[in-house]
Amino acid sequence: VSLTVLRAGRPLKGSVELPGDKSVSHRALIVGTLASGTLDISNLSTGRDVACTRRCLEALGAGIWGEGTSLTVRGRGPDGFRQPEGRLDCGNSGTTMRLLMGFLAGQPFESVLVGDESLSSRPMRRVADPLRSMGALIQLAGNDTAPVCIRGTRPLANLAYKLPVPSAQVKSALLLAGLYSRGQTCVEDPFGTRDHTERMFASFSGGEAIRRHGALACVRPVPLRTDREIRVPGDPSSGAFFAAAALLVPGSDLTLRGMMLNPSRMGFYDTIREMGTKVSIEESGVEAGEPVGDVRIEHAPLRAARVPAKRVPTMVDEVPLLAVLAARAEGISHLEGLAELRFKESDRLDGVRAGLDALGVETHAEGDALLVEGGGPFRDGRVDTRGDHRLAMAFGVAGLGSDGGVELSDAACAGISYPGFFDELERLRTG
């Protein structure tokens, strides 16, 4: 379904209650299921990706009750799973597929993981190779993609592994497999990707299951326990779209409520601050092992952005959105180290350049860097969202800063991470 997002006629004011973080939601379901005890989860992401994780876990024998944002997970303990009857459909969700591969590496039966067209073109060898060296039998399609056929074993061999690519999904898969290893599994992450799995293991084991030393995380096969409840903190990647909306509309002043403030997710907010925005953060507590608080964004004219490669892992899903903002900043923005964007739900480096081109913005690619020329309002145009939720939302936000609106070829894909997004954006736009 196509959708046109119109220019905002007045400043964006007030506050937004953020939906639960997608990464933490997947992990709460998976970790809750393989722990013992009962876990009550609130503010769970209602996106389609997280629903895929739930359905796959249920096919493996998980007990999950409830609908919407509040669920109860009855933990099965590490041994309580059965071979699924059919194939496990991960939909569009790389997190579902890769994290479950790690978990299934420790299950002594065969499973087949499949995905939609986008997921079936994404690289899986980065997960398969280290899991194979732990002892899992894994077969991929000819080009190292899904379908993934996996037969796990127990105990898995110990692993000491340094991530060759910045991927929290790969890291998390190996940490999950580590729960089924003979002794200790250590993963070194020199990139500083998101560490939600590490935090959750620590909080579900009283610190026993995982030890961290700088970039190194070591997991031991210690049973996890979850007699408790958690509230999933607000998603900073979803919040970023509203922050950007406020920065495209003069006079705006928006507060993002209950946002997760994990430093491994804050690169976008650091960058807009450098571009001249006033970002005020008030930390209010800890939820699910994560710092949480309110973030106030006040509109200001933007200077060009400079994003060094080492910051990219902390804002990897926000890069298309930042490129949209850069198009409205003063000067030429330089975003470096974007190679991984080519392996997301779509080739986002290509998708963001094509979208900006449709809106009259000049971009240049130099290796894995992107240069964006800042300037005036967006030209009216139609953007091909390529079924990619982050591209759809990023270019939807661009509509607020256009003269005559931005037409999106498909807006429904936003439901992959944030079903109510365009309604919320419209509510803010019309005040």
Q: Which residues have a catalytic role annotated?
A: 317
Q: Could you tell me the smallest distance in angstroms from the CB atom of residue 428 to ligand S3P?
A: 24
Beta carbon nearer to ligand S3P, 24 or 254: 24
- What CA–CA distance (Å, rounded) separates 383 from 367? 24
**197 backbone φψ class: left, alpha, beta (φ>0; ψ -120 to 50):** alpha
Q: Could you tell me the smallest distance in angstroms from the CB atom of residue 108 to ligand S3P?
A: 26
Indicate the burial class of 154 (C-beta count within 10 angstroms; 0-12, 13-18, 19 or more).
Answer: middle
What type of residue sits at position 88?
Answer: L
The tokens for 367 are: 């290796």
Q: Could you tell me the smallest distance in angstroms from the CB atom of residue 126 to ligand S3P?
A: 8
Element of type H or E holding 427? helix 421-430
Q: Which of 425, 417, 340 is nearest to 49 (CA)?
A: 417
Residue 147, preceding peptide bond in cis (omega within 30° of 0): yes
Cβ–Cβ under 8 Å, residues 256 and 294: yes
Q: Which residues contact 355 (CB under 8 A, 6 or more apart)?
A: 320, 324, 383, 384, 385, 391, 394, 395, 398
- Residues forming the site for ligand S3P (CB under 6 A): 23, 94-95, 166-169, 172, 193-194, 316-317
Beta carbon nearer to ligand S3P, 12 or 159: 159
Q: Could you tell me the smallest distance in angstroms from the CB atom of residue 363 to ligand S3P?
A: 21
Give phi and psi for 376, each to the nearest 5: -80, -160
Residue 236, preceding peptide bond in cis (omega within 30° of 0): no
- What CA–CA distance (Å, rounded) separates 352 from 383? 9
- What CA–CA distance (Å, rounded) separates 323 from 349? 10
Q: Could you tell me the smallest distance in angstroms from the CB atom of residue 418 to ligand S3P?
A: 12
